[in-house]
Amino acid sequence: MSVSAHKIRKIALFSGRVQGVGFRRTTVALAGAYKISGTVRNLPDGSVELILEAAPEQIEKVLQDIEQRFAGFITSITLQTQPPQGLLPGVRIIW
């Protein structure tokens, strides 16, 4: 599978009250408005990991949408950028 040069991979770790509030399901719905690939999952420490691959501006829009929707729940976001790995289209919840 060929990975476009204009895409990036962004790993976002959300901390706060982000489990048990519909965070993953809402993230999938919000990301559905964009041409984006990725996964979202709960981590044992109570945080949520979101991995996205798309054009940087698409990722930024999704992250802004998530921050606005969960403004009272997110206490911190840690971001890491990597080269894309060719995830399948769409954002999926993984267990």
Averaged pLDDT for residues 23-47: 97
Q: How far apart are CA 2 and CA 38, in angstroms?
A: 16
Q: How far apart are CA 60 and CA 88, in angstroms?
A: 19
Q: Which of 24, 41, 69, 92 is catalytic?
A: 24
Averaged pLDDT for residues 71-85: 97
The yes-or-no answer on residue 24 being catalytic is: yes
The yes-or-no answer on residue 92 being catalytic is: no
Backbone conformation region of residue 86, classed left if phi is above 0, alpha if psi is from -120 to 50, else beta: left
Q: Which of 41, 42, 69, 92 is catalytic?
A: 42
Averaged pLDDT for residues 74-91: 96
Q: How far apart are CA 1 and CA 43, in angstroms?
A: 29
Q: Going from the N-terminus, what domains does the chain have, and what CATH number goes with each?
A: 8-85 (3.30.70.100)
Q: How confident is the model at residue 2 (pLDDT cuts 50, 70, 90)?
A: very low
Q: How confident is the model at residue 1 (pLDDT cuts 50, 70, 90)?
A: very low
* pTM of the predicted structure, to 2 decimals: 0.92
